[in-house]
Structure 1
């Protein structure tokens, strides 16, 4: 049997940065055809360097026109269509073997779209990208063009088969989207196409997706609602429309719409894990943990189903690590800590670097009174620190649960000071009392961070840490000329009383915010005396100290400062919120409402204060009704009064599902670190 020839076809415009990586993944193709639509960089020269046949075409706002220009120049038996921001994962020889044995006319390939660097930030879908070179197989559509309609019209739907061929698409990475201005370009082309074909469901759907990317959720919702209602049930993208519409509802807080839509659509797409997961999110937000757990359970059960992998557009982990993690969270909220740890562990078996599951299992074991050093050993076992990403995951998790002594006790051979862990490890050393060791390491690493490509933000963080080490050990900073360092030196002078008062400095841009940052950092590093000294530099910084103490769980010390601020009528901003929150937690709902109301007068858009105020009124209503019930000795479970109390409790449960309240780690709730 003759070996079929395979050509690769691309459209490019100013892709000099990405094109080499793409073309290297295609090495060995019998032919490479590149249609250039007006590059002003080195794209054409690069393509020719890789042996490509380059066709120069003027861009006419039509992707199909450009695609078909390349197809007309094809000289191979089979055609593989790629984009410059993609790479081919499957070896070409394996593709040739597939083509040698097949009678199919075309194949779909799996496109793995990257939205970020982590595996959970990926979305998979299938497209027809590989097909026989026939004159009648041509693309259609101005944008999101496709060739499958032409193939089906000539050969029928069964002429197209799925394949194991994999392509990675980097074009949705935020930096790529911004650099190429893809959202605006796509919106322009889609609106042009819809002006010509206003009833085209595929264009309407893709315009909705583009509106989502633009943050225009209201228009996206309207487009999807219209398109879902009229699109034929058999169109391949309909399940994805349901998924996207549900995600919009979720973002807009329209849970009843999700429930109504999925009550119908899950009967059609019961094997779609993404829909079960979204249903679980809806139940959770409504304060229905049992229903949410069941939905996540159904999503996880689909992991071993026989559903073809390419049947649906799917996010990574929707039937594995994501639902298992949420089942762990729900178990943890119910106090079932050992059960929660098991679900977190199962989640990590599917994806060991899933940060929410790592944090979940660490926090669960901490609440089970497992020593921090044993938790660290468990994390090292789950995520062996051979790779930098694994070491970062372990350090980040331990830092999040306040296991600073455990971090300080880790082997530097296994956990060296690296860019992504440097600040966390040195901070843990300072908290654990290893201030001198931290200062020595800071000097060494600051010296190594030099040159044109230095990370200035990281360098500033190291400067702040070093200053805190100096001040803790009674040392002074040296005078320096660089603006940021000069501000640090001025603060040093104030702390050493070499300047009487900072009044001449507070007007300088960035000076007061720097003191605020140093106060917050000192509190995080448990250098409370230093934080107090920094706050004494100006009365305005007392509020910064109070807020920082409160956020770190030092409620008693924060409360004393809140009293002083309230008495002197100096409470504002988040201090108003924290005072209201403290009073709310103590059951003083009427007083708490006054503070939330005061903040809302200052900042009407503060959603957390609005929810806090609503909960205060609901609690007062509940208490009032309960007094009436008690006074009249009401014992009928179906009485209107008891039903009203139940409704109020349900409303409070739903509001408390929103992240309005300050969250503290288990260690912070316990009042600090332990060995």
Structure 2
């Protein structure tokens, strides 16, 4: 087994002084019960003066307490924490509502019930439909998110993109085109109380409209599109479940376009399709410095890691690290592989019948230290993460406009 990487940690006897920072410190190192207590103490002991700077830590502490409770499957505690943040109506209310929706989805509660429950909980808010719509969008409950957005009326430009996405995801592509046309026309010709769409939002809505046209007309453009725009169109198409359009946009455009397609699929949650395309490569571009080439290799290493093939994953991540010393994700991923391998090896030894009690205690101490180090590595978020909505797309039917 390779030498384990050194993971720098502060001794448990020297955590930060404030309860909130101490909770984050404990959480990072895997002392979850201690973290839970610190977050709760921080939330309950902080000032109740909503105008003071300390008030911000109240919501942050409850939010962290809820997330950690959800991770530890204490669903009742998590829900109460998220409800508390939402009722405070502060800067973190939307995030808390998003996580509340994710918590209910995790428990197997149907989308319609989640929608009804959150609308009931926020019924006194003037923007109740908007907030709940965003939360339902976050978990991929597109039909119900669409209804909430429609009932809200005036929408901010970022929420307009969410609403259009919901329309497309529910098969209302023509309606999406009509809404985009109306929204862009009104935003330029008439004064609006809401902020007008910024440049990138207008560009995104324009791309979405073009994709919708191709989908409705069962066609692709016969004009030349520069590669940079083709890549952005393909990325947007995949986010809208228009996989066939993305594939045709990047077809016969070279290896870089093919690598980009794999990356877009993977990042949007279509992991099975991304890995299938990755397996069709004759060789991985381990020596290439292009961003898509490096990401494809990283995806391959992540896939090996998720399969429990830690030695193979570590070898690939090591090559990526040596080729790009600044690649922190590869460095922490490699460390995670070594730590996982060590856990497996020591756990196997622990299961053997040792006559020496001291030997078992020594192994258990090593296991505790490795688990703590693994928590530190995992807290860097080196591994790709997906939203609840992206985790659901793998089982959704892909839109096809060619058949």
State the TM bucket, normalised to the shorter chain. 0.7 to 0.9
Who is 2:14 aligned against?
A: 260
Match of 1:516 among 200, 222, 231: 231
Q: Is contact 1:325-1:344 (8 Å) kept?
A: yes
Deviation at residue 669 of structure 1 after TM alignment: 3.3
Match of 2:326 among 593, 599, 605: 605
Say whether residues 1:400 and 2:138 are aligned partners: yes
Aligned 1:73-92 pairs, distance under 5 A: none
Q: Is contact 2:285-2:297 (8 Å) kept?
A: no
Match of 2:296 among 557, 569, 575: 575
- After superposition, the C-alpha distances for 1:621-659 in whole angstroms (9 at most, x for unaligned) are 333334445566466364433422332222112222221
Say whether residues 1:438 and 2:196 are aligned partners: no
Deviation at residue 601 of structure 1 after TM alignment: 2.8
Q: Counterparts of 1:348 and 1:406 in 2: how far apart (Å)? A: 20
Deviation at residue 518 of structure 1 after TM alignment: 1.7
- After superposition, the C-alpha distances for 1:428-473 in whole angstroms (9 at most, x for unaligned) are 1101111010011112222234379863222211111101101111
Deviation at residue 258 of structure 1 after TM alignment: 9.6
Q: Counterparts of 1:398 and 1:635 in 2: how far apart (Å)? A: 56
Match of 2:117 among 361, 365, 378: 378
Match of 1:621 among 312, 318, 342: 342
Say whether residues 1:554 and 2:297 are aligned partners: no
Match of 1:459 among 199, 202, 211: 202
Say whether residues 1:590 and 2:315 are aligned partners: no
Q: Is contact 1:327-1:340 (8 Å) kept?
A: yes
Q: Counterparts of 2:72 and 2:280 in 1: how far apart (Å)? A: 38
Q: Is contact 1:259-1:282 (8 Å) kept?
A: no
* C-alpha spacing 1:418/1:648, structure 2 compared with 1 (3 Å): closer
Deviation at residue 395 of structure 1 after TM alignment: 3.0
Say whether residues 1:340 and 2:81 are aligned partners: no
Q: Counterparts of 2:72 and 2:244 in 1: how far apart (Å)? A: 39
SS for the counterpart of 1:398 is helix
Provide the alpha-carbon RMSD of the alignment: 3.1
Deviation at residue 525 of structure 1 after TM alignment: 0.8
Deviation at residue 304 of structure 1 after TM alignment: 7.2
Say whether residues 1:301 and 2:22 are aligned partners: no
Who is 2:371 aligned against?
A: 649
* C-alpha spacing 1:325/1:518, structure 2 compared with 1 (3 Å): same
In structure 2, runs of 5+ residues without a counterpart are: 1-6, 287-292, 398-403
Q: Counterparts of 2:8 and 2:53 in 1: how far apart (Å)? A: 22
Say whether residues 1:528 and 2:243 are aligned partners: yes
Q: Is contact 2:237-2:243 (8 Å) kept?
A: yes
SS for the counterpart of 1:550 is helix
* C-alpha spacing 1:259/1:627, structure 2 compared with 1 (3 Å): closer
Aligned 1:633-644 pairs, distance under 5 A: 633=354, 636=357, 638-644=360-366
Structure with greater helix percent: 2
Who is 2:380 aligned against?
A: 658
Q: Is contact 1:402-1:667 (8 Å) kept?
A: yes
Which structure has the greater CA radius of gyration? 1
Q: Is contact 1:391-1:415 (8 Å) kept?
A: no
- After superposition, the C-alpha distances for 1:10-55 in whole angstroms (9 at most, x for unaligned) are xxxxxxxxxxxxxxxxxxxxxxxxxxxxxxxxxxxxxxxxxxxxxx
TM-score, normalised with respect to structure 1: 0.51
SS for the counterpart of 1:473 is helix
Who is 1:471 aligned against?
A: 214
* C-alpha spacing 1:386/1:290, structure 2 compared with 1 (3 Å): closer
Who is 1:27 aligned against?
A: none
In structure 1, runs of 5+ residues without a counterpart are: 1-252, 267-274, 477-490, 495-501, 506-510
